Amino acid sequence: MNIKGAKIDLLFFYWLAITLILVFFIIIIGGLTRLTNSGLSIIEWELFKGILPPLDISTWNDYFEKYKSIPQYKILNFNMSLDEFKIIFYWEYFHRFLARLIGLFFLIPLIYFYLTNKIKKKYLIICFIIFFLIILQGIVGWYMVKSGLVNDISVSHYRLSLHLFIGVIIISSLFWLIKNVKNQSDKVFFRFSKKYLPYQLLIVFIFLQIIFGAFVSGLDAGMVYQTWPLMGSSFFPNDIQIKNYSDIVKFDIHSLVQFYHRILAYLIFLYVFILTLIIFIKKNKNLFKPIKLLNIVLISQIIIGILTLISGLNIYLASAHQIMGVLLIFSAINLYYFNAN
Protein backbone atom coordinates (compact mmCIF):
# COMPACT_ATOMS: atom_id res chain seq x y z
CA MET A 1 0.00 0.00 0.00
CA ASN A 2 1.38 3.45 -0.93
CA ILE A 3 1.71 6.33 1.53
CA LYS A 4 -1.33 8.15 0.09
CA GLY A 5 -3.48 5.02 0.43
CA ALA A 6 -2.35 4.53 4.03
CA LYS A 7 -3.22 8.14 4.88
CA ILE A 8 -6.69 7.74 3.38
CA ASP A 9 -7.25 4.53 5.37
CA LEU A 10 -6.23 6.33 8.57
CA LEU A 11 -8.49 9.26 7.72
CA PHE A 12 -11.33 6.83 7.06
CA PHE A 13 -10.80 5.23 10.48
CA TYR A 14 -10.74 8.58 12.30
CA TRP A 15 -13.86 9.72 10.42
CA LEU A 16 -15.76 6.62 11.56
CA ALA A 17 -14.48 7.00 15.14
CA ILE A 18 -15.56 10.66 15.36
CA THR A 19 -18.95 9.77 13.87
CA LEU A 20 -19.41 7.08 16.52
CA ILE A 21 -18.58 9.63 19.25
CA LEU A 22 -21.10 12.09 17.78
CA VAL A 23 -23.82 9.40 17.61
CA PHE A 24 -22.99 8.43 21.20
CA PHE A 25 -23.46 12.05 22.27
CA ILE A 26 -26.74 12.45 20.41
CA ILE A 27 -28.13 9.36 22.12
CA ILE A 28 -27.20 10.90 25.48
CA ILE A 29 -28.69 14.28 24.53
CA GLY A 30 -31.79 12.51 23.19
CA GLY A 31 -32.21 10.72 26.50
CA LEU A 32 -31.86 13.97 28.45
CA THR A 33 -34.32 15.64 26.09
CA ARG A 34 -36.84 12.96 26.98
CA LEU A 35 -36.03 13.05 30.72
CA THR A 36 -36.56 16.82 30.81
CA ASN A 37 -39.78 16.57 28.72
CA SER A 38 -38.21 18.92 26.17
CA GLY A 39 -38.88 17.00 22.96
CA LEU A 40 -42.05 18.90 22.04
CA SER A 41 -40.66 22.40 22.56
CA ILE A 42 -40.13 22.85 18.81
CA ILE A 43 -43.35 21.85 17.05
CA GLU A 44 -42.10 22.19 13.46
CA TRP A 45 -39.57 20.01 11.66
CA GLU A 46 -37.48 22.99 10.41
CA LEU A 47 -35.12 20.97 8.27
CA PHE A 48 -33.21 24.10 7.17
CA LYS A 49 -34.83 27.01 9.01
CA GLY A 50 -33.87 26.13 12.59
CA ILE A 51 -30.10 25.88 12.18
CA LEU A 52 -29.61 28.94 14.41
CA PRO A 53 -31.42 29.39 17.73
CA PRO A 54 -33.68 32.43 18.27
CA LEU A 55 -31.58 35.60 18.32
CA ASP A 56 -34.19 38.16 19.41
CA ILE A 57 -37.18 38.38 21.72
CA SER A 58 -39.63 38.43 18.82
CA THR A 59 -38.44 35.04 17.56
CA TRP A 60 -38.48 33.63 21.09
CA ASN A 61 -42.08 34.73 21.53
CA ASP A 62 -43.01 33.18 18.19
CA TYR A 63 -41.62 29.78 19.24
CA PHE A 64 -43.28 30.08 22.64
CA GLU A 65 -46.67 30.92 21.13
CA LYS A 66 -46.46 27.86 18.88
CA TYR A 67 -45.62 25.70 21.91
CA LYS A 68 -48.67 27.12 23.71
CA SER A 69 -50.90 25.58 21.02
CA ILE A 70 -50.13 21.94 21.92
CA PRO A 71 -51.64 19.78 24.71
CA GLN A 72 -48.38 19.54 26.67
CA TYR A 73 -48.46 23.26 27.39
CA LYS A 74 -52.22 23.49 27.91
CA ILE A 75 -52.41 20.54 30.32
CA LEU A 76 -48.97 20.25 31.90
CA ASN A 77 -47.03 23.52 31.50
CA PHE A 78 -49.79 26.16 31.36
CA ASN A 79 -47.97 28.35 33.92
CA MET A 80 -44.56 28.11 32.21
CA SER A 81 -42.61 31.35 31.74
CA LEU A 82 -40.57 32.27 28.68
CA ASP A 83 -37.31 31.71 30.61
CA GLU A 84 -38.48 28.21 31.59
CA PHE A 85 -39.44 27.53 27.98
CA LYS A 86 -35.93 28.47 26.85
CA ILE A 87 -34.51 25.63 28.96
CA ILE A 88 -36.58 22.90 27.31
CA PHE A 89 -36.15 24.58 23.92
CA TYR A 90 -32.35 24.36 24.07
CA TRP A 91 -32.39 20.64 24.91
CA GLU A 92 -34.40 19.94 21.75
CA TYR A 93 -32.40 22.47 19.75
CA PHE A 94 -29.05 20.86 20.62
CA HIS A 95 -30.52 17.44 19.79
CA ARG A 96 -31.56 18.65 16.34
CA PHE A 97 -28.31 20.57 15.84
CA LEU A 98 -26.29 17.41 16.51
CA ALA A 99 -28.52 15.47 14.12
CA ARG A 100 -27.79 17.96 11.32
CA LEU A 101 -24.09 17.94 12.17
CA ILE A 102 -23.93 14.14 12.03
CA GLY A 103 -25.73 14.07 8.68
CA LEU A 104 -23.32 16.57 7.08
CA PHE A 105 -20.24 15.17 8.80
CA PHE A 106 -21.06 11.71 7.48
CA LEU A 107 -22.19 12.64 3.97
CA ILE A 108 -19.39 14.94 2.78
CA PRO A 109 -16.44 12.66 3.70
CA LEU A 110 -18.39 9.65 2.41
CA ILE A 111 -18.54 11.25 -1.03
CA TYR A 112 -14.81 11.95 -0.84
CA PHE A 113 -13.93 8.38 0.16
CA TYR A 114 -16.16 7.04 -2.61
CA LEU A 115 -14.44 9.22 -5.23
CA THR A 116 -10.91 8.32 -4.08
CA ASN A 117 -11.64 4.65 -4.80
CA LYS A 118 -9.12 3.72 -2.08
CA ILE A 119 -11.54 2.23 0.47
CA LYS A 120 -12.78 -1.35 0.35
CA LYS A 121 -16.10 -1.61 -1.48
CA LYS A 122 -17.56 -3.70 1.38
CA TYR A 123 -16.78 -0.92 3.84
CA LEU A 124 -18.33 1.75 1.62
CA ILE A 125 -21.52 -0.28 1.13
CA ILE A 126 -21.94 -0.43 4.90
CA CYS A 127 -21.29 3.33 5.09
CA PHE A 128 -24.03 4.04 2.55
CA ILE A 129 -26.41 1.84 4.54
CA ILE A 130 -25.50 3.80 7.69
CA PHE A 131 -26.15 7.07 5.87
CA PHE A 132 -29.56 5.79 4.78
CA LEU A 133 -30.30 4.93 8.42
CA ILE A 134 -29.23 8.44 9.48
CA ILE A 135 -31.73 9.95 7.01
CA LEU A 136 -34.40 7.49 8.15
CA GLN A 137 -33.65 8.41 11.76
CA GLY A 138 -34.39 12.06 11.05
CA ILE A 139 -37.72 11.17 9.44
CA VAL A 140 -38.68 8.86 12.31
CA GLY A 141 -37.66 11.57 14.78
CA TRP A 142 -40.19 13.98 13.28
CA TYR A 143 -42.77 11.17 13.04
CA MET A 144 -42.23 10.70 16.78
CA VAL A 145 -42.61 14.41 17.61
CA LYS A 146 -45.85 14.63 15.61
CA SER A 147 -47.44 12.03 17.90
CA GLY A 148 -47.30 14.49 20.81
CA LEU A 149 -48.71 17.55 19.06
CA VAL A 150 -52.42 16.73 18.84
CA ASN A 151 -53.97 14.66 21.63
CA ASP A 152 -51.15 13.71 24.03
CA ILE A 153 -48.81 15.55 26.37
CA SER A 154 -45.87 13.35 25.32
CA VAL A 155 -44.75 11.42 22.27
CA SER A 156 -45.84 7.86 21.50
CA HIS A 157 -43.66 5.38 23.38
CA TYR A 158 -43.79 3.08 20.34
CA ARG A 159 -42.37 5.80 18.10
CA LEU A 160 -39.84 6.73 20.79
CA SER A 161 -38.63 3.13 20.96
CA LEU A 162 -38.34 2.98 17.15
CA HIS A 163 -36.33 6.22 17.18
CA LEU A 164 -33.95 4.88 19.84
CA PHE A 165 -33.71 1.45 18.18
CA ILE A 166 -32.57 2.95 14.87
CA GLY A 167 -29.98 5.00 16.78
CA VAL A 168 -28.72 1.82 18.41
CA ILE A 169 -28.51 0.06 15.02
CA ILE A 170 -26.50 2.99 13.64
CA ILE A 171 -23.99 3.07 16.50
CA SER A 172 -23.70 -0.74 16.54
CA SER A 173 -22.99 -0.79 12.80
CA LEU A 174 -20.35 1.91 13.23
CA PHE A 175 -18.73 0.02 16.10
CA TRP A 176 -18.55 -3.24 14.12
CA LEU A 177 -17.18 -1.45 11.04
CA ILE A 178 -14.54 0.36 13.11
CA LYS A 179 -13.35 -2.96 14.53
CA ASN A 180 -13.14 -4.39 11.01
CA VAL A 181 -11.18 -1.38 9.73
CA LYS A 182 -8.84 -1.44 12.73
CA ASN A 183 -8.15 -5.16 12.31
CA GLN A 184 -8.18 -5.00 8.49
CA SER A 185 -10.87 -7.65 8.52
CA ASP A 186 -14.17 -8.36 6.76
CA LYS A 187 -16.09 -10.09 9.54
CA VAL A 188 -19.82 -10.27 8.80
CA PHE A 189 -22.25 -9.45 11.59
CA PHE A 190 -25.21 -11.45 10.29
CA ARG A 191 -23.47 -14.77 9.69
CA PHE A 192 -25.64 -17.34 11.42
CA SER A 193 -24.25 -20.61 12.76
CA LYS A 194 -24.35 -22.64 15.96
CA LYS A 195 -20.99 -21.16 16.92
CA TYR A 196 -22.27 -17.58 16.73
CA LEU A 197 -25.85 -18.09 17.91
CA PRO A 198 -25.23 -17.71 21.69
CA TYR A 199 -23.54 -14.33 21.14
CA GLN A 200 -26.06 -13.13 18.59
CA LEU A 201 -28.88 -14.13 20.92
CA LEU A 202 -27.29 -12.06 23.70
CA ILE A 203 -27.27 -9.01 21.41
CA VAL A 204 -30.93 -9.63 20.53
CA PHE A 205 -31.80 -9.76 24.25
CA ILE A 206 -30.01 -6.45 24.85
CA PHE A 207 -31.70 -4.80 21.86
CA LEU A 208 -35.06 -6.03 23.17
CA GLN A 209 -34.24 -4.66 26.61
CA ILE A 210 -33.45 -1.27 25.07
CA ILE A 211 -36.87 -1.26 23.38
CA PHE A 212 -38.56 -1.96 26.72
CA GLY A 213 -36.37 0.70 28.32
CA ALA A 214 -37.76 3.16 25.76
CA PHE A 215 -41.29 1.97 26.62
CA VAL A 216 -40.59 2.63 30.30
CA SER A 217 -39.20 6.08 29.51
CA GLY A 218 -41.97 7.01 27.07
CA LEU A 219 -44.73 5.98 29.47
CA ASP A 220 -42.95 7.32 32.56
CA ALA A 221 -43.50 3.78 33.83
CA GLY A 222 -40.63 4.15 36.27
CA MET A 223 -42.87 6.42 38.33
CA VAL A 224 -45.33 3.61 39.11
CA TYR A 225 -43.24 1.28 41.30
CA GLN A 226 -40.03 2.67 42.77
CA THR A 227 -39.13 -0.27 44.99
CA TRP A 228 -36.76 -3.19 44.47
CA PRO A 229 -36.60 -6.20 44.42
CA LEU A 230 -40.40 -6.27 44.80
CA MET A 231 -42.86 -4.13 42.90
CA GLY A 232 -44.64 -2.69 45.88
CA SER A 233 -45.38 -5.68 48.09
CA SER A 234 -45.22 -8.40 45.42
CA PHE A 235 -42.96 -9.75 42.69
CA PHE A 236 -45.63 -9.29 40.01
CA PRO A 237 -47.50 -5.95 40.15
CA ASN A 238 -50.83 -6.47 41.89
CA ASP A 239 -52.61 -3.76 39.90
CA ILE A 240 -52.65 -5.94 36.76
CA GLN A 241 -55.14 -8.66 35.89
CA ILE A 242 -54.16 -11.14 33.18
CA LYS A 243 -57.40 -12.61 31.84
CA ASN A 244 -56.29 -13.88 28.43
CA TYR A 245 -53.19 -14.16 26.24
CA SER A 246 -53.72 -10.76 24.64
CA ASP A 247 -53.31 -9.08 28.03
CA ILE A 248 -49.64 -10.10 28.25
CA VAL A 249 -48.75 -7.99 25.19
CA LYS A 250 -50.53 -4.81 26.25
CA PHE A 251 -47.50 -2.56 26.21
CA ASP A 252 -49.55 0.49 27.16
CA ILE A 253 -49.85 -0.71 30.77
CA HIS A 254 -47.22 1.07 32.85
CA SER A 255 -46.79 -1.63 35.51
CA LEU A 256 -46.53 -4.45 32.98
CA VAL A 257 -43.92 -2.65 30.90
CA GLN A 258 -41.78 -2.00 33.99
CA PHE A 259 -42.18 -5.66 35.01
CA TYR A 260 -40.95 -6.86 31.60
CA HIS A 261 -37.99 -4.47 31.79
CA ARG A 262 -37.02 -5.99 35.15
CA ILE A 263 -37.49 -9.59 33.99
CA LEU A 264 -35.38 -9.03 30.90
CA ALA A 265 -32.60 -7.62 33.10
CA TYR A 266 -32.67 -10.78 35.24
CA LEU A 267 -32.72 -12.96 32.11
CA ILE A 268 -29.73 -11.16 30.57
CA PHE A 269 -27.81 -11.41 33.86
CA LEU A 270 -28.47 -15.18 34.06
CA TYR A 271 -27.65 -15.66 30.38
CA VAL A 272 -24.30 -13.82 30.71
CA PHE A 273 -23.49 -15.80 33.87
CA ILE A 274 -24.02 -19.13 32.03
CA LEU A 275 -22.11 -17.84 28.98
CA THR A 276 -19.22 -16.84 31.24
CA LEU A 277 -19.10 -20.30 32.82
CA ILE A 278 -19.09 -21.97 29.41
CA ILE A 279 -16.26 -19.74 28.13
CA PHE A 280 -14.06 -20.46 31.17
CA ILE A 281 -14.89 -24.18 31.25
CA LYS A 282 -13.99 -24.50 27.56
CA LYS A 283 -10.92 -22.33 28.19
CA ASN A 284 -11.62 -19.97 25.28
CA LYS A 285 -8.78 -17.69 26.33
CA ASN A 286 -9.34 -15.22 23.50
CA LEU A 287 -12.75 -14.48 25.06
CA PHE A 288 -11.57 -14.08 28.67
CA LYS A 289 -11.02 -10.30 28.52
CA PRO A 290 -14.19 -9.53 26.48
CA ILE A 291 -16.42 -11.60 28.80
CA LYS A 292 -14.88 -9.99 31.92
CA LEU A 293 -15.53 -6.56 30.43
CA LEU A 294 -19.11 -7.53 29.60
CA ASN A 295 -19.71 -8.69 33.19
CA ILE A 296 -18.34 -5.44 34.64
CA VAL A 297 -20.53 -3.30 32.38
CA LEU A 298 -23.61 -5.48 32.94
CA ILE A 299 -23.32 -5.46 36.74
CA SER A 300 -22.72 -1.70 36.69
CA GLN A 301 -25.78 -1.23 34.49
CA ILE A 302 -27.99 -3.27 36.81
CA ILE A 303 -26.79 -1.39 39.91
CA ILE A 304 -27.32 1.99 38.23
CA GLY A 305 -30.76 0.86 37.04
CA ILE A 306 -31.80 -0.09 40.57
CA LEU A 307 -30.43 3.15 42.00
CA THR A 308 -32.25 5.13 39.31
CA LEU A 309 -35.53 3.46 40.25
CA ILE A 310 -35.31 3.80 44.03
CA SER A 311 -34.00 7.40 43.76
CA GLY A 312 -37.28 8.49 42.21
CA LEU A 313 -35.73 8.64 38.71
CA ASN A 314 -32.86 10.99 39.49
CA ILE A 315 -32.00 12.56 36.13
CA TYR A 316 -28.23 12.04 36.49
CA LEU A 317 -28.64 8.37 37.36
CA ALA A 318 -31.21 7.92 34.59
CA SER A 319 -28.79 9.41 32.07
CA ALA A 320 -25.97 7.22 33.39
CA HIS A 321 -28.27 4.21 33.00
CA GLN A 322 -28.74 5.04 29.33
CA ILE A 323 -25.01 5.62 28.80
CA MET A 324 -24.24 2.24 30.38
CA GLY A 325 -26.87 0.70 28.08
CA VAL A 326 -24.85 1.81 25.04
CA LEU A 327 -21.63 0.56 26.63
CA LEU A 328 -23.37 -2.76 27.26
CA ILE A 329 -24.16 -3.01 23.55
CA PHE A 330 -20.52 -2.30 22.73
CA SER A 331 -19.25 -4.92 25.17
CA ALA A 332 -21.66 -7.58 23.85
CA ILE A 333 -20.72 -6.83 20.23
CA ASN A 334 -17.04 -6.84 21.21
CA LEU A 335 -17.44 -10.33 22.70
CA TYR A 336 -19.21 -11.55 19.56
CA TYR A 337 -16.52 -9.97 17.34
CA PHE A 338 -13.72 -11.87 19.08
CA ASN A 339 -15.64 -15.11 18.51
CA ALA A 340 -16.48 -14.41 14.85
CA ASN A 341 -14.41 -15.43 11.85
Give me the helices (H) in 36-81, please: 57-67, 71
* Closest among 90, 2, 4 to 39, alpha carbons compared: 90
3-state helix, strand, coil in the chain (%, to 5): 75, 0, 25
Asked if 288 and 232 touch (Cβ cutoff 8 Å), the reply is no
Element (H, E) at 160: helix 157-182
pLDDT by residue for the chain (341 residues), tens only, comes to 456 667 888 999 999 999 999 999 999 999 999 999 999 999 988 877 878 999 999 999 999 999 999 999 999 999 999 999 999 999 999 999 999 999 999 999 999 999 998 899 999 999 999 999 999 999 999 999 999 898 888 899 999 999 999 999 999 999 999 999 999 898 988 888 888 999 999 999 999 999 999 999 999 999 999 999 999 889 999 888 888 888 898 899 999 999 999 999 999 999 999 999 999 999 999 999 999 999 999 999 999 999 999 999 899 999 999 999 999 999 999 999 998 87
* pLDDT for 3: 60
* pLDDT for 333: 97
* pLDDT for 228: 94
* pLDDT for 190: 81
Q: Residues near 80 by Cβ (< 8 Å), separated by ≥ 6?
A: 73
Distances (CA, A) of 53 to 31, 42, 91, 94, 301: 21, 11, 11, 9, 35
Q: What is the Cα–Cα distance from 125 to 130, expressed in whole angstroms?
A: 9
